[in-house]
Amino acid sequence: MKTFEDLIQDVQEPGLCHRCGGCVTFCTAINYGALELSEEGVPQFADREKCIECGMCYSICPEIDEFQEETKKLIGWEPPMGRVLETSVARAKNPDIRDRATDGGAVTALLLHLFDRGHIDGAIVTRQTGPFQREPWMATTRQEILEAAGFFIDSSHGMDHFGKGYSTFSPSVSEFRSLMQKGLRRVAMVGTPCQIKAVRKIEAMSIVPSDSIRYCLGLFCSGNFIFDDEAKNKLAAAGKFKWEDVYKINIKDQFIVILNTGETKTIPLDQLDFMKRYACRYCPDYASEYADISFGGIGAQEGWTTVIARTPEGRAIYHDAQGKTLEIYDFKPRPDYPAQIQTKVRDASNRKKRYSEKMHDELVKSRAESSS
């Protein structure tokens, strides 16, 4: 039976840890408390003596192949990028949500619909705490769900805050602890591909708190980025802008910077490897292949969200929200539009898989050379 110490050796030391928080979440949810997240979000021992060496933390990790087939079977995964029941484009009907949101506000609109209909008691989301800085949050009211919308720079924080390092990643899975403490039994989870996969593995293993997660809403992910001083300076130089002029950022098939003047600067993602989280270089999942519904900006027109329904449950709640909190793009003038979008998403998915495979091959080669 492999334990957390094996997880450190097999995943953390090679730099493969996504910091999704799955291993810590299980340990704290069942009140062992042997593990915790460091200030940098890295799993570590909180109390080595409390570890019963059950091995669950090792199996849960999305970088570990254990329970891979069971997880795929659970979600009905199909090649090349997971099951696709429907590809569509939507945005929030409420213009206030669209103004706050990054890509049309479809995720926020769907969460509000689920909450208003009584299908969920809360949602694991992230809220902004500073420029490029987000933290996991258990939203249990309508207002809290609204406050989590969007990913942008709030200029009220002031540019002096950029002396610190920031990240686009937030360990949302860690909010399972809050879920258990509040006794919530019907929760929607919004997360990145690695976070969603960790949740699905927990579900495939039939361990707590998977029975409380009603819906998994996944986000397209090219990778998460670290914004320290050096990275910010390089980014500004590449995009030819000044940080004090920035209003909003977005990540689609390019890194998009929107200035206070309304001008848009774009930077190809392949030029941003210097600021990508190391573990993200090894992740093969772009389109949140294990989610009930996947969301992203790629393929959709500005102000709209690409939506991929992957499970019957995901498709059902998506259709139930249509005409209520969600406005659906009119495909009648462009009947081939969904197929074009799906091709773009598949191309982005294939690029990420190829790059991940290349990075894994190089890592294996490097480790073999260092041990010889």
CA distance 337 to 66: 38
Task: Please provide the DSSP assignment of 45-110 as one string.
Answer: ES-GGG----SHHHHH-TTS-TTHHHHHHHHT--TTTS--SEEEEEEESSHHHHHH-SSTTHHHHH
What Rg do the C-alpha atoms of the chain give, in angstroms? Answer: 20
Residue 40 lies in a domain: no
**Residue 372, pLDDT above cutoff 90:** no
Q: Which of 168, 199, 215, 202 is nearest to 312 (CA)?
A: 215
Residue 34 lies in a domain: no
- Residue keyed to tokens 């299980």: 26
Residue 26 lies in a domain: no
Cis peptide bond prior to 79, omega within 30° of 0: no
CA distance 54 to 272: 39
**Residue 162, pLDDT above cutoff 50:** no
- Provide the pLDDT for residue 212: 85
Q: Residues 65-100: pLDDT tens digits?
A: 899 999 999 999 999 999 999 999 999 999 999 988
- Provide the pLDDT for residue 151: 54
- Provide the pLDDT for residue 178: 64
- Provide the pLDDT for residue 21: 79
Give the residue-averaged pLDDT of 176-205.
Answer: 82
Strands (E) across the chain are located at: 35-37, 43-45, 86-92, 122-130, 133-139, 166-167, 187-191, 213-219, 226-227, 246-251, 254-259, 264-268, 293-296, 305-309, 326-328
Q: Which of 315, 314, 318, 298 is nearest to 306 (CA)?
A: 298
Q: Which carries the bigger pLDDT value, residue 156 or residue 112?
A: 112
Residue 1 lies in a domain: no
Global pTM reads 0.86
Residue 274, classed as helix, strand or coil, is helix
DSSP state of 120: -
Residue 306 lies in a domain: yes
Residue 219 lies in a domain: yes
Give residue 324's domain range: 67-371
- Provide the pLDDT for residue 152: 41
Q: Which residues pair with 322 in a beta bridge?
A: 326
Q: Which of 203, 204, 201 is nearest to 187 (CA)?
A: 203
Q: Residues 279-338: pLDDT tens digits?
A: 899 999 999 999 999 999 999 998 999 999 999 999 999 999 999 999 999 999 999 999
CA distance 25 to 306: 30
Measured in whole angstroms, how far is the alpha carbon of residue 37 from the centre of its chain? 18
pLDDT band of residue 157 (cuts 50, 70, 90) is very low
Q: Residues 251-294: pLDDT tens digits?
A: 878 888 889 998 999 999 888 888 888 889 999 999 999 999 99
> How many domains does the chain contain in total?
1
- Provide the pLDDT for residue 369: 83
Residue 5 lies in a domain: no
- Provide the pLDDT for residue 29: 67
Q: Residues 192-246: pLDDT tens digits?
A: 998 899 889 989 988 766 778 899 999 999 988 877 788 888 989 999 999 889 8
Q: Residues 26-74: pLDDT tens digits?
A: 787 666 789 998 887 789 999 999 999 989 899 989 899 899 999 999 9
Contacts of 19 (CB under 8 A, 6+ apart): 37, 41, 42, 43, 169, 171, 277, 279
pLDDT band of residue 130 (cuts 50, 70, 90) is low
Do 193 and 289 form a contact (C-beta atoms < 8 A)?
yes
**Residue 354, pLDDT above cutoff 70:** yes
| C-alpha torsion angle, residues 299, 296, 84, 93 (rounded to 10) | -90
